[in-house]
Structure 1
């Protein structure tokens, strides 16, 4: 019963947590649009390889991570720069004189699995997210982490991440395809603006956390 509870709680938390639009979902959307479901699945496998390490180690060391102010500050400041870099990269790729399809082919020389691993390695914001989430779930007795029970929780979270991202990406691609706005507006305009918005929100959080008296 405890193992099933760990699986269900892990699945629910990670499924809901992976649905909000983030840069991994946007890259997955572009891979799915250009290369199909096969490459998307391998991309998501790469993502959950790193996700599994983040979830496992934050489950073990949640309190230590959240109490380390230097690491948390570094993560917060890195996130600001990384989001603006992503905005520039997407804008440059899709508004340069080179066609976006050709530009994206440069990334496809690498395995989608490797792309998923590399990009999720830069997703440092998942560390405070999972540390806070895991600490709360443990303190409130929603999950238990002794012996093998933590592996049931881990399995549930990874299944939730995979299915959550897959569902969102497929739904978004279907919507954009029907509206015929994907290639002409969504990618070149919306995605860079979306990352700039996320970067602005992160700047505000950093200001409130570290500079506001």
Structure 2
């Protein structure tokens, strides 16, 4: 049962985490528009391999923190403050700054696109603190386990969730339309995600007292 729970949390967390437009998903979309969906999917697959490695590193570190509750309490309180600030920013302060896709994408083979996805994902270090925080928070509710098989389950799910969302970007931008016609303000989506995490963390801290 713990394997399934870890897999579900890993998949949903990865899927939701890639929703906001960023360098990786918008680059995958641009490749799909310029070079076709197959190369876009190969790029996405390369990204997922790196994300899985980053997730594994984060979960190993989270397992260490889980055995030292004094550090977890501090992390949760700091995280709650950060996510509340982010929620306020994205809902009330941030303007419409819809992410634009890269202007040019030079042709590459499918193999090169796979490795370029891996390398470009290395520049994105957000999965490390993201998975650290997600796993610690859900573990506090007893919903996440740090057994070796459970960690592998979450790592596999993170790759699958990331790939699915990137594939949706690849599919959504399959036609060579003008990117501006499909750009939307994602501030409310990001703010909604941080608000949900803030509520979960608040109840976790509150129940701890």
The aligned runs of 1:64-213 (5 Å cut-off) are: 90=102, 94=103, 100=104, 104-105=105-106, 108=108, 111-171=112-172, 173=173, 177=176, 180-182=177-179, 185=180
In the alignment, which residue of structure 2 is the partner of 1:23?
A: 23
CA deviation map 1:178-208 (0-9, x unaligned): xx423xx579xx7xxx9xxxxxxxxxxxxxx
In structure 2, the partner of 1:49 is 49
Show the counterpart of 2:95.
none
Note if contact 1:19-1:168 (Cα within 8 Å) is conserved in structure 2. Answer: no
Deviation at 1:150, TM superposition (A): 1.3
TM-score computed with the length of structure 1 as normaliser = 0.62
Report the CA distance between 1:42 and its aligned residue: 1.2
Mark the runs of 5 or more structure 2 residues left unpaired by the alignment: 66-70, 76-98, 187-209
- Cα contact 1:143–1:153 (8 A) shared by 2: no
Other-structure match for 1:7: 7
Quick one: structure 1 residues 186 and 118, their matched pair in 2 at CA, closer, same or farther if it must change by over 3 Å?
farther
Change over 3 Å in CA distance of 1:186–1:124 after alignment to 2 = farther
Greater fraction helix = 1
How much does 1:58 deviate?
Answer: 0.5
**Corresponding residue pairs, total:** 156
**Equivalent residue for 1:39?**
39
Length-normalised TM-score, structure 2: 0.63
